[in-house]
Amino acid sequence: MSNTPGMLNMEPGDFKKAMRHSAGAVALVTVGREDGRRTGLTATAVCSLSDDPPSLLVCVNRSASAHPRIREERCFGVSFLSEEQVPLALTFSGQKGVEGDDRFGFGHWTTRVTRAPVLQDAIVSFDCDLRQEFETRTHSVFVGEVRHVGIRCEAQPLVYLRGAFHGVQALRDAMSLGDIKARKLSWSSFS
């Protein structure tokens, strides 16, 4: 790798490998007001943008079936999954061989203000109008203004880390109490 400022010499796949170490909440991004025309994808590139107006950023690959549909319908749903919903994450990521509207044969779906599909038993669901779009080489960044929020607080979130899905409790259990005490001691030396 070059150390020249401004030069980008990265081996193919290095960025993806690095990002696998950054945990992300798992969401389904869905679109389609009509049965038979719905589609969606599994995403971890979803985050809040602002609370005034309430809005989200959603990054979608331009080759995804949902991409042109979001542009066409000008709305989308975002449903954050719980650890029990790994099969849905796999289905919407294409790993189960199920495509398009057939993906909605799994889970309990509803619609809200925009009529975009949202998962009824998601930890949190957002019904969004598309307000802005920014293109990069391979993805579009969609800015969705939130029109409705559904919240189910009792479930544990699903996280994607190091190429696999994990429940938060499983990540907690993997850490021993000794690890936590050692971390507290090491951090206390900085204060």
pLDDT band for position 190 (50/70/90)? very low
Q: What is the pLDDT of residues 46-71, one digit of tens each?
A: 999 999 999 999 999 999 999 999 99
Cα 109 to Cα 74: distance, rounded to the nearest angstrom: 19
User: Which ranges of the chain would DSSP assign to H, the alpha helix?
Assistant: 14-19, 66-73, 86-92, 168-174, 177-188
| Confidence at residue 144, expressed as pLDDT on a 0 to 100 scale | 98
Predicted local distance difference test score (pLDDT) of residue 180 = 56
Report the distance separating Cα 169 and Cα 36, nearest Å.
37
- What's the mean pLDDT when you consider all of the chain? 87
pLDDT digits (tens, 9 = 90+) for 92-128: 998 888 999 999 999 999 999 999 999 999 999 999 9
Q: What is the pLDDT of residue 146?
A: 98
Q: Which of 30, 9, 23 is nearest to 164 (CA)?
A: 23
List of E strands, 72-138: 75-80, 109-111, 117-119, 124-135
Q: Is residue 11 very low, low, confident or very high in pLDDT (cuts 50, 70, 90)?
A: confident
The pLDDT value recorded for residue 174 is 58
Least-confidence region, from 36-45, 60-69, 72-81, 147-156? 147-156
Token code pair at residue 15: 């960025």
| Among 163, 167, 25, 164, residue whose Cα is nearest residue 84 | 167
Q: What pLDDT does 20 receive?
A: 81
Q: Which domains does the chain have, with CATH numbers?
A: 14-188 (2.30.110.10)
